[in-house]
Structure 1
């Protein structure tokens, strides 16, 4: 080989290595140099997705019984295989042969629910396949009570394992079932137990104990639909037996692993399509001891560009395509009560513009969250083109227009559960009263013109001065609820139109569907619907 050929090869290899490294850096943020967490998301995920049966750990089974909470498994005859270890520990096994699963829900309401689906208050099902994932004492129990030795693994059994995994993980999205993945990343023992069992391949049932759920025990079946869909449908969900015995199920458990206390968000909507980007700083407290990986939820189609710790170092993170789960690797195992900050930079297609209609594809998934019921304070700055009208939850601190961009800042000092906004070409209708907070109605007038023409051809007319009709119902609803239940929490109130058929409420802001702005139906349905959304200002999500 001539020297210059060798030099060219070396240059190509170096360039490839550099480009590959850059691509990897973009997908996975680089962690701080003093990172002391050794568990790798990529390693654990790949081992789960490519789980293999261990030919050295095969046991012949005859009349073997075991129980997890109320779920009873009777392995009558067959073979039990352990799967190969993940991170040097056994987490899974598969059984083929004849077996039976049985359980009776512990509460009357859950027995009624089971009866709705299967006309029985106690379930008993035969199976010829059982796949289990566990982080409890299952491995030790099986090793103690069964004899394992080297054995053969049939091609069919391997295919059965691959099929079971389809219900847990998706390669493209870098997604795996949360409780299993969280358990393996933390490398801790807990009560995790997951069972997939079936007599007919595409009609599996599932029994799960999820230690991260308030109601830990679930019985599920495959959601009916095309065979390529791998989604479970919950039939029963209830607490562990021990919690009913000692009444801890009444205490309102918090199973979240961290609590976000404060948000500082700076976001921009740019151009004709209102392209979205944001920088969000979150302050949070760890609620468990020695956390290795933190989980946040963000709209699946938003792409995270980078994440930084409070000391300015890059954090390692994982967020797959169209996957709402954002995993951030701790720079050291976080102690219980430890308070930290993270700054996240992200962007994506949050809004979809269709002429003069603007579809917010996720009304509250545009900032990272952890847990659905946590409350936090917010400080939000928006940058939007000046030709649009805009409303947000919170108190507007200031607003200025410069170079065609409106910059406004909104604050929420009293912790709230979630926030949102609305943007579009709105006709504004203001309602002022000495005794009530200012009310603003935003109606998408130009969008309605197009709809009105289309519906008119079908003989469906539209209402007159709909912003005033909606405003009257909103005003009367606020007066009624205020008289009955006291002052609302917000100092101003926006009722805004969205191009959907549902409504949604936030403190001081409600989204109303386009159809209730198109006409008011007879019989009081629209008036009741508008009042329902207003009622959320007093009753939260309990309406």
Structure 2
């Protein structure tokens, strides 16, 4: 809610479209109030992390407004003082200051989206406000009906060396209750990407020159304004449509030192509106840096951002031709169709079928090592021993040893992880597995293709971290590449599942104790996030916040919450479904196989997974997902017990008490209790705890247990004092 209580609003000169005069913005000076309160509790909690309140009420003296004509009529009806008062130049300067702050947000093309809403109004009215409250940084509120999450609230973040716009809240107008069934909102995309035809040349300095032809099917019309994404380091020369006409486009400059980079967002204005069922073909011509050269090698940073992408994880068929230096080894996603020498160049052709949401390649002075084994597809390892021998000289100074035959060590983990996941989740479906070293710190998975970061090729550590990383990226062939995720709220279905799959692999090859140690490490890190000697910072957000778990108030939480806690959620489900008498896990594995089989090649949601989990659990799991995915409760339990013997029967009774703190009353946990009968035998029972003070007895025990242990398998993410 914005109240313009007293002052002057000056409207900008309107635009004219098809004889309609469209007022689109204005600047207000005076006295006003900005009030904002998100609808869902998850967003209220996020607002609280930044402002220590779940609803804002800020007074202001200046506000910049952008809107559609209906809002203009409301403003002119309620504000009679619309004439210009004071110096026009001063007003323009003040308005420009606020607009510069809006444009600082390189993630959005505000002027492009405003124009789209002016010409093609859709649903509720577009509205943007840039507010300058007294003594605080600028706030930006946006309602854009074309976005999947229509409501956006952002603030300027400034400290020495940093000045940017940070998203605080982002949510759908349809997410109005605490079930979070509609957390993903409604898909507003207007195009379905069908095919890519890519003709790329990469020189030996890491510069790309590319022609990419993309074919779309229009699934919602009229469509004349579209946005695509492209790596900021790539300069877009031109775009040509079906009729060989130049397509007008807009792209903002980025403030990057020594670089002439632009925003990844590109707004396209087509020459006419396209309607449902039409085919749209666009050809993009672009060039620029996708890698940096050092030590004679290319440090490729492009990932899957080197070609124009529409929508979120749109799947398409790819046909690609690459022209590269003949002295380099080149490999890519998909099937290699041909290879030939052309002067100083190597020309290779590839296709990626079935549809994929992201593709990439690797290039460098590498050698291919081919491993073939019955029951598995061929595994290709691309690796430069010569480079690592050179690096070994430098690492030896810090007493870091280079592992022997690293291509074999990498292959061993990729091969064994693939066998494990084939057995657990279902068969790997690509015709081969290609694994390439990239000279970057990160790793990333693509269809049938894995980028493994530099560090895991140095050696294999004794603590299981390298094996965990390799298995994690392999697991993405099932979770992330195989089963996709619909929005960032569901990204834990990729990263959390891949992380837990890797832990299951570690359990197979390094044993149960190493597996439990990794879970304990995750639990300790989750509980200790931003806990300092003299206080604590903002609490972590829930899994459903996705990438937004990492912010200026919660730095580093993305990996901790989406990967580690996401894995823990899957571990808790596994423990709920295990037969504690036989330790049989068929129910859990059947659940995972059905989820993989049902959603391979599709984008799944948390609710999709919940439905399958409920089928195998046989109960409503709404409480489980609410506690662990949509909230960030971290229970702390104190477990005490006393064992008494009946003097008449000689039988024993264990009288037990579990006190749970830091969670609301009614918080529910299925948690195993281990009875250590003697040094060689143990028994297990599963407790359902749903009160904060939980008392129970174990009567008629023929033998006095040596010890009782609550949560022996880390079955619940909880801190246990016992």
- TM bucket (normalised to shorter chain) is 0.7 to 0.9
Aligned-residue offset at 1:248:
8.9
CA distance in 2, matches of 1:502, 1:243: 37
Structure 1 counterpart of 2:5: 76
Gaps of 5+ in 2: 253-259, 481-490, 496-722
Q: Deviation of residue 296 (structure 1)? A: 2.3
Distance 2:250 2:93 in 1: 29
Q: Which structure has the bigger radius of gyration? A: 2
Q: Label 1:289 to 1:117 Cα distance change in 2 as closer, same or farther (>3 A).
A: same
Whether contact under 8 Å (1:209, 1:216) holds in the other structure is yes
Q: Secondary structure at the match of 2:479?
A: helix
How many Å apart are 1:169 and its aligned residue? 3.2
The equivalent of 1:183 in structure 2 is 114
Deviation at 1:401, TM superposition (A): 2.7
Aligned residues: 467
Matched position secondary structure for 2:441: coil
Match of 1:66 in 2: none
Deviation at 1:91, TM superposition (A): 1.2
CA distance in 2, matches of 1:225, 1:152: 35
Residue number in structure 2 paired with 1:395: 335
The Cα offsets for residues 360-396 of structure 1, whole Å up to 9 and x where unpaired, read as 2322122111112211111111122222112111111
User: 1:292, CA displacement in angstroms?
Assistant: 3.0
Q: Which residue of 1 aligns with 2:48?
A: 115
| Superposition deviation, residue 519 in structure 1 | 2.0
Quote the residue 1:286 is aligned against.
218
Q: 2:453 aligns with which of 501, 513, 517?
A: 513
Deviations 1:216-268 (A, max 9, x none): 11222112334883x22111221116866999936752222322211111112
Counterpart residue number, 2:148: 214
- Does the residue aligned with 1:162 lie in a helix, a strand or coil? helix
Query: What is aligned with 1:65?
Result: none
Q: Residue 30 of structure 1 corresponds to which residue in structure 2?
A: none
- Which stretch of structure 1 is more off in the superposition, 300-309 or 348-357? 300-309
Note the C-alpha offset of 1:129. 1.8
Q: Once superposed, what is the RMSD of the aligned Cα atoms? A: 2.7
- Structure 1 Cα separation of the partners of residues 161 and 12 of structure 2: 26
Q: Is 1:504 paired with 2:444?
A: yes
Write out per-residue CA displacement over residues 324-353 of structure 1, whole angstroms, 9 at most, x where no aligned residue: 333444232222331122223322222222
Other-structure match for 1:436: 376
Residue aligning to 2:367: 427
Q: Report the CA distance shift for 1:523/1:129 in structure 2 as closer, same or farther (over 3 A).
A: same
2:151/2:170 contact within 8 Å kept: yes
**How far off is 1:275 after superposition?**
3.4
The worse-fitting range, judged by mean Cα deviation, of 486-495 and 198-207 is: 198-207
Match for residue 42 of structure 1? none
What TM-score does the superposition give when structure 1 sets the normalisation length? 0.79
CA distance in 2, matches of 1:80, 1:241: 32
Deviation of 1:503 (Å): 1.0
Q: Decide whether the 8 Å contact of 1:93 with 1:133 is kept in 2.
A: yes
Deviations along 1:405-447, whole A, 9 cap, x unmatched? 3222111221111110011111333221111111111123333
- 1:380 corresponds to which residue? 320
CA deviations over 1:291-320 (Å, ceiling 9, x no partner): 334332222232334433334444444556
**In the TM superposition, what are the counterparts of 1:230-269 in structure 2 within 5 Å?**
231-240=164-173, 249=182, 253-269=186-202
The 10-residue stretch of structure 1 (102-111 or 238-247) with the greater mean CA deviation from structure 2:
238-247
Structure 1 residue aligned with 2:273: 333
Query: Aligned match of 1:134 in 64, 67, 79?
Result: 67
Larger displacement relative to structure 2 (409-418 or 235-244): 235-244
Offset from partner CA, 1:170-229 (integer Å, 9 cap, x none): 7xx9x8942541331562334321111122476111211122321111222112334883
Which secondary structure state, in structure 2, belongs to the residue aligned with residue 168 of structure 1? helix
Note the 1:86-101 alignment, pairs <5 A. Answer: 86-87=15-16, 88-101=21-34
For the 8 Å contact 2:229–2:309, the answer to whether it is kept is: yes
Q: Distance in 1 between matches of 2:312 and 2:69?
A: 27
**Which SS does the other structure have where 2:11 is aligned?**
strand
2:401 partner SS: coil
Shift, 1:157, TM fit: 3.5
Q: For 1:408-423, what aligned pairs fall within 5 Å after superposition?
A: 408-423=348-363
1:529 maps to 2:469: yes
- C-alpha change, 1:232 and 1:524, in structure 2 (3 Å) is same
- Is 1:322 equivalent to 2:261 in the alignment? yes
1:354 aligns with 2:259: no
DSSP 3-state at the match of 1:483: helix
CA contact (8 A) 2:149 2:185 kept: no
- Structure with the bigger RCO (C-alpha within 8 Å, sep 6+) is 1
1:501-536 superposed Cα distances (whole Å, 9 cap, x missing partner):
111111111111111111222311111111111111
Between the aligned partners of 2:175 and 2:474, the Cα distance in structure 1 is 41
Name the CA distance, whole Å, in 1 between partners of 2:189 and 2:323.
33
Q: Is the 1:295–1:328 Cα contact (8 Å) retained in structure 2?
A: yes
Note closer, same or farther for the CA distance 1:237–1:319 as it changes in structure 2 (3 Å cut).
closer
Q: Secondary structure at the match of 1:263?
A: strand
Mapped contact 1:507–1:537 kept (Cα < 8 A): yes
Aligned to 2:97: 163
Query: Distance in 2 between the 1:151 and 1:315 partners?
Result: 38
Query: Cα distance 1:248–1:479, how it changes in 2: closer, same or farther (>3 A)?
Result: closer
Query: Contact 2:149/2:184 (CA < 8 Å) preserved in 1?
Result: no
Q: Which runs of 5+ in 1 are unaligned?
A: 1-71
Contact 1:298 1:369 in 2 (8 A): yes
Q: 2: CA distance between counterparts of 1:104 and 1:305?
A: 43
Q: Normalising by the residue count of structure 2, what TM-score does the alignment of the two structures yield?
A: 0.60
| 8 Å contact kept, 2:76–2:82 | no
Name the counterpart of 1:483.
423
Q: Which moved more, 1:311-320 or 1:200-209?
A: 311-320
Structure 1 residues 468-488: Cα deviation after superposition (integer angstroms, max 9, x where no partner) = 222211111111111111122
